[in-house]
Structure 1
Amino acid sequence: MADSDSADEAREVTGADLVAESADSLRERAGENRVKLWLFIEADRRLVAAAAALFVFGSLATIGALVSNPIALLRSGDPVETTFQALLGAIITGVTLVVTLNQLVLSQEFGTIDQQRDRFDATMSVRESVGDHVDPEIAPSDPSRFVRSIVSAAADDADAARAATHAGTPADASAAVAALADGIRSNADVVTEQLDGASFGTFDVLSAALDFNYSAKIYEARRIRARYADDLPDSAVDALDELLATLELFAPAREHVKTLLIQWELIDLSRYVLLSAVPALIVTLYMLLFHAPGTPADPVFGVPLAVFVVSAAVTVALVPFLVLLAYILRIASVTKRTLAIGPFTIRDTADTNE
């Protein structure tokens, strides 16, 4: 009897070990601190640009305050004129770059009527495929609810696979299915809670979708099915097949949401850069045409007011670049985290190919 219990325990441990340990949330998978991830991905891009502008102004004003006799330096040679001439060229170049980015977004919307029909038919075909696996059968039109319906369906399929195992199922097979179901259910509950009330146009929808680690779950489900297909009841195998089909639908759904959001972000980027370019050009031209270097020289907190004027003007001239930096930082970071689609892991992790 003791030998039998030991054997069962050994089988349970082995079965649990078959389920690859993998963090679910993006922050855990990225292995980076919360502040860095918030700055790169989650923070409002306008807030990031504003914080960068304050940092630039504060840095320039501090350096000017520490320099001995800054008025003399501003009046010697033409440092202000040279600086703003370079900034004027940079602003015009930046606006040209934004126009190019805008054309990239618009090019996705152009096409002949037959191309638009093919695009529509492909979209409807995918939605019908999703409808075959979610409840209700008609997939929601809202991106947040659309993603949430797939995540919830995956959790239900995992629960069905666990419920389909019975007393006659080997302990290691039951343990592997149960561990998979627990992992999917806990991850799905967190993601659906994040998606509740999230509206498209903000980063909330994609942020929640990135926290559903579908690729690891596809790999785990395929491995369990391959190893225990002969030990599991047919109903459990069918439930695993349904789970895999649902998880495989999540991949293109998340990529579609990501593509839409990136296009949305590029449009916002174009608008904010163009809007900020107008005051930047005005301030730059004023500093070139009308501003006398070193004036006003009246001190504020012991620092010549001219230092603050020049620092503020440089900051305003740099705002279009700072806006571009803030948006491209998030787009590049999200793209890096979602390069692979499907059960591929392109980061340091333990080898689970056992």
Structure 2
Amino acid sequence: MSDDSSDTIDTRAEDPNLNQSSVDDIGTANTMRERSGETRVKTWLVLDGSRLLITTMLALLIFGVFVFGGTFYYQYYLTDALTADTVETVFSTMISAIITGVTLTLTISQIIISQENGPLGDQRERMSNTMDFREYTQEMIGSPTPADPSAFLRAIILESRDYAKDLRESVADSDSEDLRGEVDEFTNSLVENADAAEDKLEGRKFGSYTVVSAALDYNYGWKVFQIERIANEHRDAISQETEMVLDDLKTVLSMFGPAREHIKTLYFEWELISLSQNILYLSVPALITAGFVTTYLGGSALSGTVLGVPNLIWVTSAAFAITSLPFLLLISYIARIATIAKRTLAIGPFILRDSQR
């Protein structure tokens, strides 16, 4: 999703029901999963779960399917193993796939590393842009900008929460009951969302998905839209003090957008490098297993059974699951990265999903 934010194009004149819908949906759920309507199981498998654990689970699934299927079709499989060199053919193909996968992984690593290299002028510009953003953030939050990514995002979120409380106080004496009601609902939702994100960010180290998850949970774009809507619909009832607080709150939320995108970009690079390293580590035992089975087991059949299952089924199933580990690891990492990228395609108040359209 694009942070469950909203399009800022004013279509209320064309659709009279949009205004009422916007008022009714000021408050939002505090997590991305609740807003998107995904199940806990799917969210854990695609995003929250350890990528190594997910890879292991996929390998066990393959192993179980092969054992279960091989037990029922063992006679056909035994004939093929002895006459058609099925085992040798399968694992010879796996050797080629492993080598190709490692080559692809090295290519990905080279692309990532190349983005960090460049002439002195480019590096100076990167540094200048970073320091400008940090200085502006320091002026906004009134304290030195934290160096830790999780603390950096947490500081901006806490600042937006403080401005939300100031906004609530600024309209407390307003004669407009509608304005007070909408601001109260909006600020309550923002404060609860900020508290939830703050708790998830506190003490977290960069490199874990929790930091990015908390950033995705804080749907700043939808809040920016609500500020614009409230300022437009209640312009006659808003005092100068309230208008200033709304502008300050909008500025803080707008700063959260590029900050989140920067942290997300660093996380993607971190994850892709970790993926490359882990695939290289797994490719060695996978290659050894495939080579061993091809050389010493291809064209033969193991005798005996264990737990009523032929040894040939046990060995080939385990070998295939092990040789599949690099590819399964790639699936688990790309599933998370692709999901995050899809849900953060747009920056700012735009809706790309149906969660709050």
TM-score, normalization by structure 1: 0.91
1:90-105 mapped onto 2 (5 Å cutoff): 90-105=97-112
* Backbone CA RMSD of aligned residues: 1.8
8 Å CA contact 1:65–1:303 kept in 2: the answer is: yes
Secondary structure of the 2:301 match is coil
Q: Percent identity?
A: 38
- Larger RCO, structures 1/2 (Cα 8 Å, 6+ apart): 2
Q: Deviations over 1:236-255 (max 9, x none)?
A: 11000000000000011111
- Structure 1 position 195 matched with structure 2 position 196: no
Secondary structure of the 1:138 match is coil
- Structure 1 position 229 matched with structure 2 position 235: yes
8 Å CA contact 1:19–1:180 kept in 2: the answer is: no
Distance 1:18 1:50, change over 3 A: closer
8 Å CA contact 2:98–2:287 kept in 1: the answer is: yes
Rounded Cα–Cα distance in structure 1 between residues aligned with 2:68 and 2:83: 20
Rounded Cα–Cα distance in structure 1 between residues aligned with 2:205 and 2:356: 36
Select the residue among 84, 100, 123 that pairs with 2:130.
Answer: 123
Rounded Cα–Cα distance in structure 2 between residues aligned with 1:15 and 1:99: 50
Shift of 1:184: 0.6
The letter of the residue matching 2:94 is L
Distance 1:18 1:228, change over 3 A: farther
> Runs of 5+ in structure 2 lacking a partner?
1-19
The residue number in structure 2 matching 1:336 is 342
1:58-73 mapped onto 2 (5 Å cutoff): 58-69=64-75, 70-73=77-80
Distance 1:16 1:326, change over 3 A: closer
Shift of 1:201: 1.1
The residue number in structure 2 matching 1:10 is none
> Runs of 5+ in structure 1 lacking a partner?
1-13
1:1-354 mapped onto 2 (5 Å cutoff): 17=23, 20-69=26-75, 70-135=77-142, 137-349=143-355, 351=357
8 Å CA contact 1:273–1:320 kept in 2: the answer is: yes
The letter of the residue matching 1:17 is V
The letter of the residue matching 1:87 is M
Shift of 1:89: 1.2
Rounded Cα–Cα distance in structure 2 between residues aligned with 1:263 and 1:88: 28
**Number of residue pairs aligned between Structure 1 and Structure 2:** 338
TM-score, normalization by structure 2: 0.91
Q: Deviations over 1:41-74 (max 9, x none)?
A: 1111011111111111111111111114243332
